[in-house]
Structure 1
Amino acid sequence: MSLLLYGTAGASGLFADSLSGLLIGRALLGLAVAGTMTTATALVGDYFSGDMRDRFMGYQVAFTGLGGLVFIAGGGVLTELHWRSPFAVYAIAFLLIPAVLKVLYEPEPVRHEPGHVPADDVTRRDILLVALFCLIAALNSTAFYLIPTQMPFYIEKLGIAPASGTGLAMGLLPLASAIASLNYGRLRRHFTIPALFAIGFGIMAVGMNLIALTQDYFGIAGSIGLTGLGLGMVISNMMAGAMAVAPPSIRGRVAGVLTASIFIGQFLSPLISQPWVDAFGYRAIYHDMGMLVGCFAVVGLLTAIRRRISVTA
């Protein structure tokens, strides 16, 4: 149902003849995106467990980034033909529907896993952990969208690259994120979830502070790529961690609130960053966000150390 709505609402821009028609299509597309993201995340949690879930969650995040890179670039090429042409990309969703009907199956309603409480016994600790992952999702999304919403204007202000160079530099963000996500399963075998949050947020903090300190093109492009590596690690860790701690009975709802948190961060990012940029400048927003995610890295590091001490004690 979500894919059907996705293709219909997305491709409606091919025929919409007014701004209100375009906006209605975008609103319905938003509902479809929420449906596909929530269902896909919940099914990964239901179909897989342990190392395989971690690996597959990394694949999911990686292909999300690669898809964004390919389709955004493809949309730019199609725009050269006609301004409506990029809307045709959404019709690809129709091609996925037969595969979904043939391959996907309904998971069993109760699934007992090692270390989980019974399916109907949702504890206060479960709720607090899910709330923490939602906070991380919102923060990560807010930080992520500082690049696409503010970076083009920052590079233009510095006068260090044409529009094509700006697009290339920004393309390093999803590319680096995909690289980190593809290797998440391998990293998860060696590090705990708190340790990977510490590493991911730490890399993001360094990347964003380097963006604030650097004013040449290659320095900023490299810093964007470094930030992408941290983002990919954090997103994969967040999704895999949330599915691991969520009892099977509420896994679908957890996937839903996690998806909502991601979009809340996306919505808040320009509302927070634009007044900050107007008041303090572009360098300040990247420096300050870098310091904020750096605080999360410290919390993750302290949690990882505490867990290691408690295990060895």
Structure 2
Amino acid sequence: MPPAIPAAETSEAVAPEAAAAAVSEAAAAAGPAEDAPVALARPRLTAVLLMAGSCLPILGAVLIAPVLPKLQDHFAATPGADALAPMALTIPALSLAVMAPFAGAIIDRLGRHRLLVIATVLYAIVGTAPLWLDSLPAIVASRVLVGIAESAIMTCCTTLIGDYWSGKQREKYLALQAMCASISATAFFALGGAAGSAGWRAPFWAYAVGLLLAPLLGLYLRPAAGRAQVVAATAAGATEAEAAAGTRTPLLRRLLAPCALTFFSAIVFYTVPVETSFLLDDLGTTAPATIGLCTAIASVATVVGAVAFTRLTDRAERLLPAVLALCALGFGIIAVADSVPLLVAGAVVNCLGGGMLLPTLITRTMVLLNAADRGRGTGLWNSAFFLGEFVCPLILLGVAKPAGSLAGAVGVLGAAALAVAAGLAVLRARRRPAAATA
């Protein structure tokens, strides 16, 4: 993918009007104008509920992975079971990617709070459907509905974080969201494996947690009504009308470059979690305990990276080239690894960057959105991210043959990530003088 324009550095980089672009450059240099903060009666409880809601789509992505062989064996007589059983795991991500923009449009019209509660109830109903379904195609269809519910949940939770907090607090909670997602992925994988000992249907009971969470979301979350639009003047002396010029740019044009970069970064982010077991297998390591330990170590690095994000910078756009370069370094180590310890070291380096990558991307995108279009913008971002998650293994599989091995494909991805990082750094360096002049 060619280097994308770092849109958070200039919210008007794609606008044709030169004057508006200059104003936007000045705003980028001074820091983004923020919405007025929302007064929350229970800020900690609000944060806990939003973090819990954000973990639900992660549960859908990893919970049934340990029982897929049992699911496939149970429906061995079903035509196409070899393809349909893996789809039960991956189809929610595709469904989420397709539906997230529509969820964003709906919540901008109907409100975030109401849709979040409805989607959480729907998530519990369709998520537990395989407990009584006796048809593999019907189970896959229920998983499509799970992805639709997840698209609304994830979009609403991320949008509400943008609504409720601003500036450093927003960055803090977006990083916390990424950290909770990483921790929950490890916990849900272990939960799925433990529950799977009671049969392939048992892990699906975990989806019932939505019925417990939905009433809490309905009682304690409140719509962010009355939140001010972005009209603050920039430090460069821009007028309110000029400062709002970026919001007049069509949303798709504003987010085209960030979403393209997010799609690529999602492939970078998910490569290690998805491919670690196969990479270890290529090195002759097949013991489930060893694979689980290596995956857990990488997950801890992701958490550390998410925590580090809140401490290393107050401007997310400054961080992105270095984060992608760190991910590329990890891929390079993995590509040349001839032992398990070296491979794990590469995974740790990559996941350390990955933990910073996710909150960096969403923070940069939030800068471009105001209260009126935050739902649609967040939906587009989620669509790009989860579409990247869905195609990640397919792309690596396609590159592995010409590259000679899966490790070689990871090396190619590392080279691409390094090229994108260099391109972003060059573009940012070129824009600094223009922003200063403006």
TM-score using structure 1 length: 0.91
Deviation at 1:121, TM superposition (A): 6.8
Write the letter of the residue equivalent to 2:415.
M
Out of 49, 57, 62, the position equivalent to 2:174 is: 57
Aligned to 2:213: 96
- 1-side partners of 2:386 and 2:204: how far apart? 21
Helix, strand or coil at the partner of 2:367: helix
Deviation at 1:122, TM superposition (A): 2.7
Aligned to 2:307: 182
Aligned to 2:422: 298
Q: Are residues 196 and 260 of structure 1, via their aligned partners in 2, closer, same or farther at CA, if it must alter by over 3 Å?
A: same
Aligned to 2:326: 203
Write the letter of the residue equivalent to 2:145.
L
Out of 355, 367, 370, the position equivalent to 1:247 is: 370
Write the letter of the residue equivalent to 2:308.
N
Write the letter of the residue equivalent to 2:365.
A
Asked if the contact 2:397–2:406 (Cα under 8 Å) also holds between the matched residues in 1, the reply is no
Out of 336, 339, 352, the position equivalent to 1:229 is: 352
Residue 406 of structure 2 corresponds to residue 282 of structure 1:
yes
1:127-158 Cα deviation digits (max 9, x unpaired): 54422221122112122332344332221121
Aligned to 2:197: 80
Give runs of aligned pairs for residues 77-156 of structure 1, distance below 5 A. Answer: 77-108=194-225, 111-113=228-230, 114=232, 122-124=247-249, 127-156=252-281
Write the letter of the residue equivalent to 1:297.
A
- 1-side partners of 2:189 and 2:275: how far apart? 17
Asked if the contact 2:251–2:377 (Cα under 8 Å) also holds between the matched residues in 1, the reply is no
Asked if the contact 2:192–2:203 (Cα under 8 Å) also holds between the matched residues in 1, the reply is yes
Deviates further, 107-116 or 253-262: 107-116
Write the letter of the residue equivalent to 1:273.
L
- 1-side partners of 2:251 and 2:125: how far apart? 37
Deviation at 1:168, TM superposition (A): 1.9
Q: Are residues 210 and 129 of structure 1, via their aligned partners in 2, closer, same or farther at CA, if it must alter by over 3 Å?
A: farther
Out of 159, 165, 180, the position equivalent to 1:48 is: 165
- 1-side partners of 2:329 and 2:354: how far apart? 12
Residue 151 of structure 2 corresponds to residue 34 of structure 1:
yes
Helix, strand or coil at the partner of 1:16: coil
Helix, strand or coil at the partner of 1:70: helix
Write the letter of the residue equivalent to 1:99.
L
Deviates further, 82-91 or 52-61: 82-91
Deviation at 1:300, TM superposition (A): 2.9
Deviation at 1:10, TM superposition (A): 1.4
Deviation at 1:24, TM superposition (A): 1.4
Asked if the contact 1:130–1:242 (Cα under 8 Å) also holds between the matched residues in 2, the reply is yes
Aligned to 1:8: 125
- 1-side partners of 2:318 and 2:132: how far apart? 49
Asked if the contact 1:69–1:175 (Cα under 8 Å) also holds between the matched residues in 2, the reply is no
Q: Are residues 128 and 178 of structure 1, via their aligned partners in 2, closer, same or farther at CA, if it must alter by over 3 Å?
A: farther
Aligned to 1:66: 183
Deviation at 1:286, TM superposition (A): 0.7
- 2-side partners of 1:222 and 1:151: how far apart? 12
- 1-side partners of 2:349 and 2:126: how far apart? 35
1:65-94 Cα deviation digits (max 9, x unpaired): 111111111111111122211111111122
Q: Which has the larger radius of gyration?
A: 2
Q: Are residues 185 and 148 of structure 1, via their aligned partners in 2, closer, same or farther at CA, if it must alter by over 3 Å?
A: closer
Write the letter of the residue equivalent to 1:62.
M
Deviates further, 145-154 or 286-295: 145-154
Write the letter of the residue equivalent to 1:230.
G
- 1-side partners of 2:245 and 2:325: how far apart? 37
Residue 296 of structure 2 corresponds to residue 171 of structure 1:
yes
Deviation at 1:25, TM superposition (A): 1.5
- 1-side partners of 2:142 and 2:226: how far apart? 34
- 2-side partners of 1:179 and 1:219: how far apart? 19
Deviation at 1:248, TM superposition (A): 2.1
Helix, strand or coil at the partner of 1:183: helix
- Where structure 1 has 5 or more consecutive residues not aligned to the other structure, the ranges are none
1:156-213 Cα deviation digits (max 9, x unpaired): 1210352221122123333222221123222232xx3232101210110000110001
- 1-side partners of 2:124 and 2:282: how far apart? 38
Write the letter of the residue equivalent to 2:272.
I
Instruction: Choose between structure 1 and 2: higher helix proportion.
Output: 1
Deviates further, 249-258 or 136-145: 136-145
Identity of aligned residues (%): 24
- Where structure 2 has 5 or more consecutive residues not aligned to the other structure, the ranges are 1-117, 235-239
- 2-side partners of 1:51 and 1:272: how far apart? 36
